[in-house]
Amino acid sequence: MSLKQKSKIFLKKYCQIIFAMTLITNVPFSFAETVKTINGIDIDSLVLDIYIQSRTQQSATETTPEQRLIFLDELTDIYILSTQENAKKLSNNPQIKAQIELQNRGLIAQAVASDFFVNAPVSEEQILTEYNQVITTTPTLEFMASHILLETQSEAITIIEKLNSSENFAELAKTNSIGPSATAGGSLGTWFAPNQMVKPFSDAVAALDNGKYTTDPIQTEFGWHVILREDSRDSIPPTLDSVRNEIRQKIMQDAFQAYLEGLANQIE
């Protein structure tokens, strides 16, 4: 994987993280007032609210008065340590300054991202377009399958030979499979779409007829498989209402990623 590809993956994950953080941090705060003074430095209620939010990943309004006092005690310790005589000297340490710079930049970047998401319009037309894309890319079939997972190709070939001799698939799975489904006779126990499995496994299942097993071992990152396609059925696409929120989030994330890439391209 190239550095550019890795950067795009990181950017996508970063956008998702920023979006999730803005859902938490974009909440209104009441007017700030001093709740405690430590060595001449006031701790105001807004600082306490933000501290509680960062600790709990929830709005400060959701905490009880007792919990709020506990968090205030924690914040008090921070203020005590940061107001000591040697704190100013330590704050000029290059490593500490770099960490403070990074934290400040991160907070400002988060604020800019939050502002983007709050003001990013998502139209019904965009949602419908994205939903239609979901529908068109949804696999038409779902499958029920069993498999026997083995460590080596030769072991898988031996299992296939036994199946060709009419030995029972479930019994062979129970006695030979190293997968977690062995105790269930190899059955995965649930319907699945092809895109829910690793590609070699899905491709093999899709190529089989119902009631048939693979005549060649299938290799995945987990080992070697002998797969039995038990049954298939038409898949039912999700309703618009059931995926509306996910679609809205994806549109916003895609828009933010495009916005960020556009800003990156402007760097001289």
The confidence score (pLDDT) of residue 264 equals 85
End-to-end alpha carbon distance in the chain: 26
pLDDT tens-digit map of 127-165:
999 999 888 888 889 999 999 999 999 999 999 999 999
Q: How confident is residue 4, by pLDDT bands cut at 50, 70 and 90?
A: very low
Q: Which residue has the tokens 């979006």?
A: 19
Distance separating alpha carbons of residues 221 and 164, to the nearest angstrom: 26
Q: What is the DSSP string of 6-17?
A: HHHHHHHHHHHH
The confidence score (pLDDT) of residue 134 equals 86
Mean pLDDT of 25-43: 77
Distance separating alpha carbons of residues 93 and 99, to the nearest angstrom: 10
How are strands ordered across the β-sheet holding 218-220?
141-150, 223-234, 218-220
Q: How confident is residue 263, by pLDDT bands cut at 50, 70 and 90?
A: confident
CA angle 43, 45, 50 (to 5 degrees): 100
Percent pLDDT > 70 in the chain is 88
* CB neighbourhood size of 228 (10 A): 23
Q: Which amino acid is at 90?
A: L
Backbone torsions φ then ψ of 26, nearest 5 degrees:
-85, 70
Cα-based distances in Å from 198 to 178, 187, 193? 18, 17, 11
pLDDT tens-digit map of 184-199:
999 999 999 998 999 9
Question: Quick check: 188 and 133 in contact, CB under 8 A?
Answer: no
Distance separating alpha carbons of residues 132 and 147, to the nearest angstrom: 34
Report DSSP state, residue 253.
Answer: H
**Domains delineated in the chain:** 3-114 (no CATH), 139-234 (3.10.50.40)
Position 15 pLDDT exceeds 50: yes
The confidence score (pLDDT) of residue 3 equals 45
Q: Which amino acid is at 111?
A: A
pLDDT tens-digit map of 199-212:
999 999 999 999 99
Mean pLDDT of 227-246: 93
Question: Quick check: 15 and 260 in contact, CB under 8 A?
Answer: yes
Position 230 pLDDT exceeds 60: yes
Query: What's the pTM value of the predicted model, to 2 decimals?
Result: 0.56
Mean pLDDT of 30-50: 89
Position 117 pLDDT exceeds 50: yes
Q: What is the DSSP string of 163-177?
A: HHTT--HHHHHHHH-
The confidence score (pLDDT) of residue 248 equals 93
Element (DSSP H or E) covering residue 103 = helix 94-119
Q: Which residue has the tokens 């129970």?
A: 174
